[in-house]
Amino acid sequence: MQRGDPLVVGRVIGDVVDPFVRRVPLRVAYAAREISNGFELRPSAIAEQPRVEVGGPDMRTFYTLVMVDPDAPSPSDPSLREYLHWLVTDIPATTGVSFGTEVVCYESPRPVLGIHRLVFLLFQQLGRQTVYAPGWRQNFSTRDFAELYNLGPPVAAVYFNCQRESGTGGRRM
């Protein structure tokens, strides 16, 4: 196993966004359990929205957080890629998601088929901006969204895997 960027190996870079440079610390934690790339959580663990802490230079910089599932409804046939689970904007640097504006509320992921990736992406805004919720959650395009609101490339990202509660797929290591 050679060492590679987990975001590349896990195809998050590629399927959801293009290669970018991490600039800002991003910590996402479900009930005191911090997310690391590629770790697995079951739906019961992610039923409530996580705590999100964002780094950054000073509180005059604002960030947008996007949470998507690129493997909806099933990784082998992701016809609904990407499914938007959460969208929060105007998060001031050095604070958390509770200081931002929730444009699309957190929807608890409940995968049925296969093992899904759930990706958190952080974008830096040019300033405070109004963001309109899309008409529906499915077939969201993070790339198009970033372009539409001039967000540029992401400044941070983290993802984890999730399968249905009674699933048996996954690692046999």
Partner 1 sequence: MASSRVMPSSSPPRQTGGPSDLARFRSGSGIGSMNMDDIIRNIYGPDAVDGGGPTEPAPAPPEAAARRTSEEVWKEISATGGLSAPPPAAASGAGGGGSGAAVMTLEDFLARDTGARAAGMEGNMVLGFPDDGVESAGGGGGRGRKRAPMDPTDRAAMQRQKRMIKNRESAARSRDRKQAYVSELESQVAQLEEEQAELLKEQEERNQKGLKELMEKKVPVIRKKLLQDLRRTNSMEF
Can you give the binding site for partner 1, defined by CB under 8 A?
1, 3-7, 9-11, 36-39, 75-81, 114-115, 135-136, 138-139, 148, 161, 170-171, 173
Within 21-113, strands assigned E span 26-30, 33-34, 39-41, 51-54, 62-69, 83-92, 101-104
Q: In what order do the strands lie in the sheet with 156-162?
A: 39-41, 156-162, 116-124, 62-69, 83-92, 101-104
Q: Give the whole-angstrom CA distance, residue 72 versus residue 15.
A: 12
Shortest Å distance, C-beta 168 to partner 1: 13
Shortest Å distance, C-beta 88 to partner 1: 20
Closer residue to partner 1, CB minimum distance, 142 or 161: 161
Shortest Å distance, C-beta 78 to partner 1: 6
Closer residue to partner 1, CB minimum distance, 85 or 137: 137
Neighbours of 87 (CB within 10 A): 23
Closer residue to partner 1, CB minimum distance, 6 or 43: 6
Shortest Å distance, C-beta 130 to partner 1: 14
